[in-house]
Structure 1
Amino acid sequence: MRIAIIQGAFLPVPPVRGGAVEKIWYRMGQEFAVMGHDVVHIGRSHPGLPEQEVVNGVTYVRIPGYETPSSLLKLKFLDLLYSIRAVKTLPDEVDVIVTNTFWAPFLLRGKRGKKVYVDVQRVPKGQMKFYRHVGVLRGCSPAISEGIRQELAPEFHHLVSYVPNPVPFDIKNLSINREKTLLFVGRLHPEKGVHVLLKAFRLLEKEQFSGWKLKIVGPSAFEDGGGGDAYYQELQQLSAGMNVEWIGPVFSDDTLITYYAEAGIFCYPAQEGSGDAAPVAPREAMAYGAVPVVSGLGCFQDFIQDDENGLYYDHTSPDQVGQLAQVLSALMNDENRLKRLSKQAVRVNTEYAIPVIAQRFMDDFRKIYPARKNDKNPSASVSI
């Protein structure tokens, strides 16, 4: 099978500047190559990365992209310019075109449109009805798949699929002692609820949780998806006098998994309207035994079961800070419960492993490109 992946305009591949979606498809593309398929991965150019190279069987083609602008209107315009370039860069012969960009499905019509596999990684906002000509609309969580269906007439519901996001790295055996660490990994943005977490941690410190530290990992710069300087300064003020360690952005998996392996609890208090579809960081943390405590958004409910492998708190409560502090307090005070949930959390390594999810994608791709006799011997190269 000849597979093309069109990544977005604002972050490069490999994910040297982060990006959960970029990380997922970087690993998926290489797994498809291991399975014997031809893969071309089109992404944003970046200093130090060649315009074209072959790595682990995947042909990477890089085209000019942009820094994330502050204006949503400008963002969509820049994404359009980038998508036009990306579509022109596609190989002449391709069987499946995977993309998470807003404009590429609009631009790919006719026979090529039928080959498009739209990767929906955020809550849809009305655009799905314009994608009815594509091959598959993939939701990365049941909640997102249902959101896609709600924007389509019933006769187009057959286009909708659900394939979960993987744990996008290889699991390593680490000799690291778990600490009394409460960890957050993600963009430092209001929609991620970092301010809520800091306020809850202050309540916990008043209860004298000696030895527990809060570590916050992630970018605050607007161009990296953060909330910008003003929000970062607000967070700094909220953390004043508390046992909080600010790590900053970490884009190295080897470094990141150390933080996961050390943490006792991983907290991800994403807020209503955040657009979160299937956050990867909680899965990554669970893979190393950190117990997830998350808000009650639907995007978590396919892989976190309350009091089985993690905990939820009511983010819709008028006192969500108090609600979060209460859930964290109960878990910090119950070592046996913490160990039980940790033991169950690591099972994500089986259900959401890269080879498992890659095969589910392949099953989906067969809806676009049915199995043929010569699929066992795909062509050795792709024309760029």
Structure 2
Amino acid sequence: MIISIATGPWLPVPAVQGGAIPRLWQGLAEEFANRGHQVRILCRSYPGQPQTETINGVEYIRRGGLPQSTNIRLDLIKDLLYALLIFPTLPRADILVINDFWLPVFAALRPSSGQIVVNAARFPKGQYRLYTKVACFAAVSQAVKEAIAQEYPLLIPRIKVIPNPIDTSIFFPATSSKFANQEKVILYVGRIHPEKGIHLLVDAFLILAQQISTVKLRIIGPQQENQGGGGDKYLRSLKLQAEKLNIEFLEPIFDVDKLAEAYRQADIFCYPSLAEKGESFGVAPLEAMASGLVPVVSDLPCFRDFIESGKTGYFFNHKNTDAAKNLSATLVSAILNWETTTKMGAKAVQKAQEFSYQQIANAYLSNFEQLLTITK
């Protein structure tokens, strides 16, 4: 097969600014290429990256690109301009995977670019009514599938759940046991943004630290708005909130090997997202699971695709006024019942193996073959 993958105008590929989507599509593209398929990634231009190059069997074609802002309407206009620039140059292919808002609309005007597969990695906001020519919607979670189906029921036969993958060759558990570690490190990795509930995590840690003194909270991620963060003001408010607590804020880690090591240096992973309609899957908790960490997450439907309460992770009720107490109590239980948590960590590793690049590539390629069979 000839497979094109269009990743949109915002982040470069390979990822040098972070971003789970560019990283996972690079990995899947390389897996497709390893199996003998001709694969290209159509991505934004970025300083230091050539307009065209081939890496690990994948051809990169870079054109256009714009910085993302916090203004959704402005970004939709930017994305429209990007789609208008890109679609006339779409190369001939059998399959065209798109992770972008406007491009699926215009790509349909170039049938030679291939059967269109939309990587539905976000909750719908009315745009799916525009995608009448799309062959398949690859929803990253059951929650996203149900949201698309509710918005536009006619698309139900074309929706498949194909989750995001992780690189299990990089994200794996530490070889040494952490059972004897006196200080337990709670880790958060992700955007430093209010919708991620980091202020709630700091509030919970304040309660936790009064019960268990040998505990540290480590927060890693970007706060810059052009990288999806909440800005310097939000970070300053968090640091003021965390004053005199054993909390450290670290710069984002874009090197995937160093990021994996950061997971292995922690004991528990916490992802207290409050984004009811923004959290579509959650790659970071899954990477943590692959690294042997038990995830503690908010009670959002998307996490239930890979976390089973009390077996591979913990959920806490994030919706009421006692959310910080609920989170703190969950963390306390995980730490004080460390033998149980350690056993859960082993099960979490096993579960994460189901989301390897190899497994998810199988699902995509099977879907691509079905689409091409239908059109013959």
1:150-229 pair list within 5 angstroms? 150-154=150-154, 156-168=155-167, 170-171=169-170, 174-175=174-175, 178=178, 180-207=184-211, 209-229=212-232
Corresponding position of 1:90: 90
Structure 1 169/341 Cα, relative in aligned 2: closer, same or farther at 3 Å?
closer
In the alignment, the residues of structure 1 paired with residue 119 and residue 86 of structure 2 have an alpha-carbon distance, to the nearest angstrom, of 16
Shift of 1:153: 2.9
Q: Does 1:53 align with 2:57?
A: no
Corresponding position of 2:252: 249
Note the residue ranges of structure 1 that are not aligned, 5 or more in a row: 374-384
Query: CA-to-partner distance for each residue in 1:36-93, whole Å, 9 max, x for gaps?
Result: 11111011111111110011111001112111123211111111111222223321x2
SS at match of 1:366: helix
Query: Which of residues 302, 305, 309 in structure 2 aligns to 1:302?
Result: 305
Corresponding position of 1:28: 28
SS at match of 1:270: coil
Shift of 1:353: 1.0
Report the AA paired with residue 17 of structure 1. Q
Question: How many percent of aligned residue pairs carry the same amino acid?
Answer: 36
In the alignment, the residues of structure 1 paired with residue 192 and residue 95 of structure 2 have an alpha-carbon distance, to the nearest angstrom, of 35
Corresponding position of 2:66: 66
Contact residue 166 and residue 353 of structure 1 kept, 8 A: yes
Corresponding position of 2:133: 133
Contact residue 192 and residue 235 of structure 2 kept, 8 A: yes
Residue range with higher mean Cα deviation, 78-87 or 105-114 = 105-114
Q: TM-score, normalised by structure 2?
A: 0.94
Corresponding position of 1:311: 314
Contact residue 191 and residue 274 of structure 1 kept, 8 A: no
Report the AA paired with residue 268 of structure 1. Y
What is the root-mean-square deviation in Å for CA atoms of aligned residues?
1.8
Report the AA paired with residue 317 of structure 2. D
Corresponding position of 1:99: 98
Query: CA-to-partner distance for each residue in 1:167-223, whole Å, 9 max, x for gaps?
Result: 13523575455451100000000111111101100111111x122111101000001
Off by >3 Å, runs of 4+ in structure 1: 110-114, 171-179
Of structures 1 and 2, the one with the larger relative CO (CA 8 A, separation 6+) is: 1
Corresponding position of 1:19: 19
Contact residue 40 and residue 61 of structure 2 kept, 8 A: yes
Contact residue 174 and residue 292 of structure 2 kept, 8 A: no
Q: TM-score, normalised by structure 1?
A: 0.92
Contact residue 136 and residue 158 of structure 2 kept, 8 A: yes
Instruction: Give the count of matched residue pairs.
Output: 370
Report the AA paired with residue 85 of structure 1. L
Structure 1 310/65 Cα, relative in aligned 2: closer, same or farther at 3 Å?
same
Corresponding position of 1:345: 348
SS at match of 1:213: strand
Residue range with higher mean Cα deviation, 219-228 or 114-123 = 114-123
Residue range with higher mean Cα deviation, 273-282 or 165-174 = 165-174
Note the residue ranges of structure 2 that are not aligned, 5 or more in a row: none
Contact residue 41 and residue 60 of structure 2 kept, 8 A: yes
